[in-house]
Amino acid sequence: MSLWTRITDALSALRSGESLADVFALLRTPPERTAAFAIAVIALGAKMAKADGQVTRDEVSAFREVFTIPTAEEKNAARVFNLARTDVAGFEHYAAKVAGLFGLRDPALFDLLEGLFHIALADGEYHAKEDAFLARVATIFGVDERSFRCIRARFVPDAHPDPYAVLGVDPDATFGEVRKAWQAQVRNYHPDRLLARGVPAEAVKIAEKHMIAVNRAWEEIQLERG
């Protein structure tokens, strides 16, 4: 069963009077968690688009920064987007539902946050309202401030990324500590690890861009320290 079939089935299982946010209660077992992850990224992406006023941005193009979406499934992705965008429930309600499904500080929530950064930067800009939105979502997910800064440093193009921030270490960390941080990032973002924690195979772009950023940071620090 494909990811998008699971998503369609989950939406069809919603009862009259239930909102999209209620779908997460139906997706707690491992295969369905991949559908929950995809719905969460799209739904929170829709809320973020509404928050910064960019509701006319092509949502399918933005989500392609995270997912491989077959042409035949674009309508299903757009349906999830529109259900979330028109739902009166706020983004904090959605974020809390997702955090309740995966558990605070679950690695999948960090992956999800990275997916939202991909969407935020899909139009080449990063707005102040998007930053406030993502910071609030991170808090609800239990992501600490340092980890949030680490993720932000890999995405936001307002300056050359600080390689230490990208790896989540202090500039005065020993070379051994920096290397361990880099190795941990490499291990955690191996595609098999992502699949094991519920990230859909269709969202491997998260791992690809993450690895590019952390490897570049590691190379810069090696050059800096000779």
Condensed to tens digits (0 to 9), the pLDDT of residues 94-119 reads: 999 999 999 999 999 999 999 999 99
Does residue 56 have a pLDDT over 80?
no
How far apart are the C-alpha atoms of 166 and 226, rounded to whole Å? 19
Quote the pLDDT of residue 49.
Answer: 86
The mean per-residue pLDDT over the stretch 46-53 comes to 82
Convert the pLDDT of each residue in 132-189 to its tens digit.
999 999 999 999 998 999 999 888 876 678 899 999 999 999 999 999 999 999 999 9
* Cα 81 from chain centroid (whole Å): 15
Mean pLDDT of 54-63: 68
